[in-house]
């Protein structure tokens, strides 16, 4: 018998009409994402079901994951299993009614994701840590079968430096280890995050400092971090290990 953990949520009433907007999340360093997560897992979406919540005013979508690797879970996460996790998100479509909420991700059934999620029993429009920051879609090398994590903006990961993810330009596909870039337009800005606060030595005039976001390589690197490599870094951080890759 499989046990399912469903994170239920509620947001205020939204008119039952298509709604979409851009948003910007505060930047979270990689180490902070790990600390904030109650569970970290790799899983394939097997089913998505949209429904009305209490009062038939708000639409919710239950996303079912077949978990292939349960990387971390805290006591707060409750009775989740290695077989099935269900996360619930505000928004979705029922009949001719549709609600889309900023900072709530969408998923593709059959695709695999690496997810940092909150499971503390509280109510969230999205349980993903840091908006889109705790969500990575997995793509597969078309020849070698190696798995690679991409951000929702399709950026790859070239490494972890000083506790931050070093992102690449957007990736279209990988074939035989060769990385093909993707030309993107304004829509890529949807996944931007607010810059980190500027810092300097004591007494520094901060009005003259410039804030920054996680480093993004200007050119495509020869190699991206694989899912297995990223998971190993997560294990190292959880155990209090080194600086990672």
- pLDDT per residue of the chain (245 residues) written in tens, 0 to 9: 433 333 333 333 333 333 333 455 788 999 999 999 999 999 999 999 999 987 888 899 999 999 999 999 887 777 766 578 999 999 999 999 999 888 899 999 999 999 999 988 777 899 999 989 999 999 999 999 999 999 999 999 999 999 999 999 999 999 999 999 987 665 454 455 655 555 555 665 555 544 445 555 568 898 999 999 999 999 999 988 443 33
Print burial letters for 43-80: b (CB count within 10 Å at least 16), e (below 16).
Answer: bebeeeebeeeeeeebbbbbbbbebeebbbbeeebeeb
Predicted local confidence at residue 120, as pLDDT: 84
Predicted local confidence at residue 192, as pLDDT: 52
User: Are 161 and 179 a contacting pair, CB within 8 Å?
Assistant: no
DSSP β-bridge partners for residue 175: 178
Q: Is the pTM of this model over 0.85?
A: no
């Amino acid at each position: 018998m499989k046990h399912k953990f469903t994170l239920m949520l509620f947001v205020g009433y939204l008119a039952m009409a298509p709604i979409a907007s851009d948003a910007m999340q505060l930047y979270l360093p990689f180490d902070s994402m790990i600390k904030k997560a109650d569970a970290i897992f790799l899983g394939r979406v097997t089913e998505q079901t949209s429904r009305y919540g209490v009062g038939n005013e708000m639409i919710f979508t239950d996303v079912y994951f077949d978990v292939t690797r349960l990387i971390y879970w805290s006591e707060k996460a409750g009775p989740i299993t290695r077989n099935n996790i269900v996360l619930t998100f505000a928004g979705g479509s029922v009949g001719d009614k549709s609600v889309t909420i900023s900072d709530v991700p969408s998923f593709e059934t059959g695709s695999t994701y690496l997810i940092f999620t909150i499971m503390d029993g509280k109510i969230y429009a999205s349980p993903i840590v840091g908006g889109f920051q705790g969500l990575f879609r997995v793509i597969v090398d078309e020849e070698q079968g190696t798995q690679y994590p991409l951000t929702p903006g399709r950026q790859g990961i070239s490494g972890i430096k000083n506790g931050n993810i070093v992102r690449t330009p957007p990736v279209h596909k990988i074939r035989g280890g060769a990385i093909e870039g993707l030309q993107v337009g304004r829509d890529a800005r949807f996944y931007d995050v607010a810059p980190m606060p500027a810092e300097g030595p004591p007494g520094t005039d901060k009005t003259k400092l410039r804030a920054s976001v996680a480093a993004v390589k200007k050119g495509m690197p020869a190699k991206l971090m694989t899912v297995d490599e990223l998971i190993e870094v997560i294990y190292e951080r959880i155990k209090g290990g080194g600086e990672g890759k």
